[in-house]
Structure formats: structure tokens, C-alpha cells
Amino acid sequence: MLFAHGFGCDQSMWRFVAPAFEASYQVICFDYIGHGRTSMDAYNRERYASLHGYAQDVLDICHALDLHDVILVGHSVSGMIGALAAINEPDRFSRLVMVSPSPRYMNDEGYHGGFEREDIEELLDTMDGNFFGWATSTAPAIMANSERPELGNELGLTFCHTDLEVALQFAKVVFYGDNRKDLPKLQTPSLIIQTLEDIIAPVEVGDYMANHTPNSTLHVIDATGHCPHMSAPNETIQSIEQYLRQLN
């Protein structure tokens, strides 16, 4: 099982979920470039101008470790990064688990992504002008679960530890991106995990993905916020385990 973190995060955020699968699977966590403790030596703005650069990172890890029959568990944007990797090399992956994913964050005609264009532009302007202020003020809303403020605080601190150049480019790639046309290309069986309330990826997004992705299963878990692997790890684990049992 290969665990891929979301924007501005790092592999430590899987610490509540990944260990539950160590008895049955080889568990691998990693950080994208500019996140966690990675070096910036290999950063290339041209490579990472789209999600395909990050998808190639996933494939490069699979090649380097000679991984096969991979179950990729991706949070947020890594759901689509994992999908692109599986589309490119379908024989490499057996299952794809997408936690709070979205193929398009911006509303469009007949599509509810959660944000209007002006919302995205304002968000990116705020990030560009004061990324650290944006990170610390917005993270609690993204996390939700206000009764546990330590979770939102941790998310904000992790955002702040991300390399600023990487974060700003990655944010534009994520929030201006549109991967809806890629969904029908994904043939790898996939689980889509959504929460009841998520300001980044509303339930409508999960419905859209399930309706446009072959071999997909949507599971709305009893949780809130965009990071259920941190705020509701037991529910997240149970959803993944149930899905994998049904397929075996």
C-alpha cells in the first residue's frame, strides 16, 4: 500500500491510518518534493506545472522499489494524482483509494466544485501575499472538528513547513486544474471516501466522481472536514478495510 499525502501536507499525516495495514501489506509513505523533509535539488517548475509531474513521481517510486499490485491511497489532490498514475500504467495498480478527492474545485455549468472563480482568485492572491497567514487562519476551517483545535493547528504548521515556491505553484495547479475528462479513463477499481461536510470537496463532488468513474465505489463516512484520515481515522480505516474485503 502506497500512501500519498495532499497539498501542503506530509507523510506524517498518515500515522493514524497506515499502521493498521502493516500486518497485511507492505506499507510505504513518502513526501512530494518541497514537502516534509525532501530536498529541493530536483525541483523543476516545468515538470510540476501540472499534476502529471506528481503522477510521474508516484510511478518513479513504484519503478525504483519494483512495486506491483499497488493499492494507492491518496488524500485530496493525490486522489487525482493517483488516478493519473494508474491511467498511465494500469498494470502497476490493483486498487485506488481516494480520500476527499476532487477533479475540479471550481464551479462550472452543471457542476458544483465548491468554489467560484473569484473565490479561487482571492484565495490564491491571499496565499501569494501572506502564505503563512493564510495557512494558520484557513487550516482550522479545512480540518473542521473545532472541538479538537490541535488538529487544525497541526495542519496549519505543516502548510507552513512546505517550501513556499512549491506551495504557490502547486496551489495554482490544483485550484485551476480540471481533471474531469480523466475520470472515464480510469479502469483501476477505486474507492472514493467523502465526509458529510467538506469545504474543499463537497459531497456533490463525490457523487460526480462516482457517476463518471468506471469501477468506482463511493462511501460517505460519518465524519466532517477535509482530512478524515486525521480527524476520523477509525472510520477511514474501516471504510478501506470493508472495501478491500469485498473485492477479495
**Which residues does the annotation mark as catalytic?**
76, 198, 226
Amino acid at 70: V
Cross-strand bridge partners of residue 98: 74, 192
CA 39, 45, 51 angle in degrees (round to 5)? 95
Dihedral sign from CA coordinates of 36, 28, 198, 223: negative
Q: Pairing mode, if any, of strands 70-75 and 2-4?
A: parallel
**C-alpha dihedral over 134, 138, 139, 145, to 10 degrees?**
170
- Taking the C-alpha atoms of residue 208 and residue 242, their distance in angstroms, rounded to an integer, is 22
Rounded Cα distance between 151 and 100, Å, is 17
Cβ 22 vs Cβ 1: under 8 Å: no
- For residues 65 and 164, give the distance between their C-alpha atoms in angstroms, rounded to a whole number: 29
